[in-house]
Amino acid sequence: MYVNIRFATEKDLEILEEYRGRGIGTKMLEFLESFLLSNGRRVLLSSSQVNEIEPQAWHRLRGFKECGILFGINEGGVGYLYK
């Protein structure tokens, strides 16, 4: 159940490998969090495939907590881990 959500959207974002480790993704996340808070949003969900260890660690370092897994929607049945 979702409470007080006007709309939901899903966007894929990925920093090109040659630009990783420069804080670009962190700055983008900080901007998004600030924007959402200033517009009355209190929930931000993100996901990565269950076999993607580095993105999961990145999310945890930024305060995300695991809240569910959706299986069987990717090639080979690899699930999405939601944070």
- Tens of pLDDT along 10-66? 778 888 999 999 999 999 999 988 988 898 888 888 888 888 898 889 989 998 888
pLDDT: which is higher, 3 or 50: 50
Residue 1, pLDDT score: 36
**Locate tokens 């409470």: which residue?**
3
Residue 4, pLDDT score: 54
pLDDT: which is higher, 74 or 60: 60
Sign of the C-alpha dihedral computed for residues 28, 31, 36 and 37 taken in this order = positive
Domain layout of the chain by residue ranges: 42-83
Helix (H, G, I), strand (E, B) or coil at 76: helix
Using CA atoms, how far residue 26 sits from 23, 29, 55, in Å, is 5, 5, 12
Using CA atoms, how far residue 48 sits from 1, 45, 54, 72, in Å, is 22, 11, 10, 14
